[in-house]
Amino acid sequence: MQEALLPIYAWLKAGHLIFVIFWMAGLFMLPRLFVYHQEAAEGSEEATKFVDRERKLLKIILLPSIVVVWVLGLLLASTIGAWSSGWFHAKLLFVILLSGYHGWMSAYAKKLARGERTLSGKQLRLVNEVPGVAVAIIVILAIVKPF
């Protein structure tokens, strides 16, 4: 499989990076929408609009992006034989954690849609920092390959 994908490696990498950017943009935006949603009066027309915006962001941007990121990422890893590298295992761990964060945010969107506001605006603003820290670590691991 490694040799079969080598001619299109640069295209796989470009696609992977493009969809990582889409995924990260959505992960940065979703908690901000949650903050604004929670500031809207419960049951208001504005709150209903935020439910729709959050749903669209999750279904149109985030879900396709995470799928493409994973598929292309696994193909890239197979192409370069990264499975035996320590940096790759660390990167994979952080990508799994970031994927879990994505799932948690998706679940919180469903809670908000039901009117359950279990986090404060301050907590959501703090949660918004998670993808930035994770992506910084992931990029360092992928580019620098420190071990």
Q: Which two tokens stand for residue 106?
A: 């998706």
User: 91 a known binding residue?
Assistant: yes
Neighbour tally for 133: CB within 10 Å:
11
Tell me the CA distances in angstroms from 142 to 9, 52, 86, 87, 94, one per residue in order: 15, 35, 11, 7, 11
Distance CA 50, CA 106 (A): 14
Q: Which two tokens stand for residue 110?
A: 């469903």
Neighbour tally for 6: CB within 10 Å:
12
User: Which parts are annotated binding residues?
Assistant: 16, 91
User: Which parts are annotated binding residues for heme?
Assistant: 16, 91
